Amino acid sequence: MKNQFLRGTFYLTGATFVSKILGFIYIMPFVLIVGDSGYALYKYAYGPYTLMLSVATLGLPMAVSKYVAKYNSLGDYQAGKDLLKKGLLIMMVMGLLSFLVLFLFAPSLASIVINEGDVSGNTHEDVVFVIRLVSVALFIIPPMSMLRGFFQGNQQMGPSALSTVLEQIVRIVFILVGSFTVLYLLNGTITQAVGISTMGAFVGGLASLALLLWIFIRRRDLFPQAKDSYLTHPKIEWVPMLKELISYAIPFVLVGLAIPVYQNIDTFTINSLLTSVDYSLQEAEQVNAIIGLAQILVLVPVSLATAFSISLIPNITASFNKGDLQDVIQKIKQTFNLLMFVLLPAVVGMVLLSEPIYTSIFGLNNNPELGGRVLAWYAPMGILFSLFSVAAAVLQGINMQKHAILGLGLGILVKLILNALLIPSLYELGPIIATYAGYFVSVSYLFFVIYKNVHIPVSKLIKPLIPMAIMVVVMSIVVVLSKALIQLIFTDLVGDYALSFLVTGFSVVAGALVYLIASGKTGLIRLIVRRNG
């Protein structure tokens, strides 16, 4: 049973990881197809959709998974079935309401990013069109997520994992094939191509739902049956149950929305603030799109580092519940060290190779000079992104999740104020600096709360950074020399695009090998991964 549980957890974690990587990769060809203007239009639709989807589900699928498992362990199998029925009904109602809100308020949202009558870039009507198309997915995704939660609650992780990957693959194929077909085979417009792309969320969700229903029907006899219950719950009080479910889920949902909220603040404020200082809408949208693309690149190492680190959080929870604060301190230290071991070289490498990385991924037609500059400034944000995620998870592990929400709120307030103050004077650097400030406030507050409750010595966190910094300096020298050597040899032999690929590929491989070999030889890797010390 234990092996089955571990295997299921591995499937689910692996599926989530694959899904996220696919979600990063497809952006590259998509931007090459629709350009930065098309990507900006896509952002206008997908940003509000992501937030509305979280509102629609409220984290209930995850919470229902927990309670189905709880009632099954008590032998009350009917309760799990009742939870599924009620949960599906609630998700369908929430999906419908969320669809109506997003559909009806699309013109208001569009007015925030583009003034009616401005036709120098994407138009107000274009934004309304794509927001309304993506809103249709809200019919499908919430009930589909609830069905996934039911499978997980019954310790059947495989179907949930498979549906996650299928949803992402179908969505991406639909986006890329649909946008390419509309633009290059049917001679359609960018707006039509992006509109088709936003429908990918609906099509992917539909494919996932169909798969889950098919497996549910095929495996119906494998689920615990109500007639086999050896404990019968007299009657579930649904209102208190829902309150408990929502109170359990909301902190996780809100903290998980940190990056999307910041992204939406930029998406919906950059255009108006830049056009107020004589940028054309087209120029403002290019900045908007490039900042979004830089965020995507930065989130690749963030996802990897955070995934490794967050895996230690359940152990922190267990130690805290036992009252073993020394073990909590040790595991927080290990989590922090692992995070920085992955992130420091990734961030520094991204700063040093910002323009070749941006050019090799998004091409020469998407303003690589501006893109490289934005990426170089934005890359160090990856450290704050990850520190916030890990600190928030630690607070949830020690039952201090309210402070995580408060810290997030403080940071968002700082971000909103500084966006308005800095963008008109610092242009594309304004939203980046505002994001630094907002996350710095949040992370500082979260670590203060952790320190106050766990009393972790700061020196224990700082000390391992010294050998890491030395290894990163060595790596940086190799990266700079590799970059210069490749440019010296190949500049006159290949074009700018191919040169960017060569510089990025050789420099990344050389830097990574030197960092790993040096870390291994000096014992840094053993220091990071060992459980005690």
Q: How far apart are CA 172 and CA 26, in angstroms?
A: 7
399 and 525 together in one domain: yes
Give the tens place of pLDDT for each residue, 219-242.
776 555 555 555 555 566 667 767
Within a domain: residue 106? yes
Within a domain: residue 229? no
Alpha carbon distances (Å) from 22 to 15, 33, 54, 517: 10, 17, 21, 29
Q: How far apart are CA 330 and CA 528, in angstroms?
A: 11
3-state helix, strand, coil in the chain (%, to 5): 85, 0, 15
Tokens of 286: 């290019």
Within a domain: residue 284? yes
Give the relative orientation of helices 106-113 and 27-57 as an angle to the nearest 10 degrees.
130
The count of other CB atoms within 10 Å of the CB of residue 409 is 14
Give the tens place of pLDDT for each residue, 58-97.
777 767 776 776 666 666 667 777 777 888 888 899 899 9
242 and 281 together in one domain: no
Q: How far apart are CA 173 and CA 152, in angstroms?
A: 27
Interior CA angle at 101 toward 100 and 102, to 5°? Answer: 95
Buried/exposed code over 145-171 (b: 16+ C-beta within 10 A; e: otherwise): bbbbbbbbbbbbbebbbbbbbbbbbbb
- Give the pLDDT band (50/70/90) at residue 49: very high
Alpha carbon distances (Å) from 443 to 338, 406, 409: 18, 11, 11
Instruction: For the chain, give the number of residues.
Output: 533
423 and 386 together in one domain: yes
Within a domain: residue 231? no
Within a domain: residue 459? yes
498 and 440 together in one domain: yes
The residue range of the domain holding 508 is: 257-533
Within a domain: residue 230? no
Please spell the DSSP secondary structure of 405-419, one letter per residue.
Answer: HHHHHHHHHHHHHHH
Per-residue pLDDT, 332: 81
Query: What letter would DSSP give residue 120?
Result: S
- Sequence-distant (≥ 6) Cβ neighbours of residue 480 within 8 angstroms: 352
Per-residue pLDDT, 532: 42
197 and 346 together in one domain: no
Interior CA angle at 308 toward 20 and 334, to 5°? Answer: 160
330 and 355 together in one domain: yes
Within a domain: residue 164? yes
Q: How far apart are CA 292 and CA 266, in angstroms?
A: 9
Q: Which bin fits 328, alpha (ψ -120 to 50), beta or left (φ > 0)?
A: alpha
409 and 371 together in one domain: yes
The count of other CB atoms within 10 Å of the CB of residue 363 is 17
Q: Are 423 and 269 within 8 A, CB to CB?
A: yes
Taking 80 as the threshold, does the pLDDT of residue 179 lie above it?
A: yes
Tokens of 282: 């087209």
Last residue of a domain, one of 216, 251, 286: 251
84 and 32 together in one domain: yes
- Sequence-distant (≥ 6) Cβ neighbours of residue 191 within 8 angstroms: 41, 122, 126, 129, 130
184 and 136 together in one domain: yes
Per-residue pLDDT, 417: 97
Interior CA angle at 259 toward 105 and 318, to 5°? Answer: 125
- Give the pLDDT band (50/70/90) at residue 309: low
Domain count of the fold of the chain: 2
Within a domain: residue 441? yes
413 and 393 together in one domain: yes
138 and 275 together in one domain: no
Give the tens place of pLDDT for each residue, 7-45.
655 666 677 778 778 888 898 899 999 988 899 999 999
35 and 122 together in one domain: yes
- Sequence-distant (≥ 6) Cβ neighbours of residue 113 within 8 angstroms: 44, 127, 267, 268, 271, 272
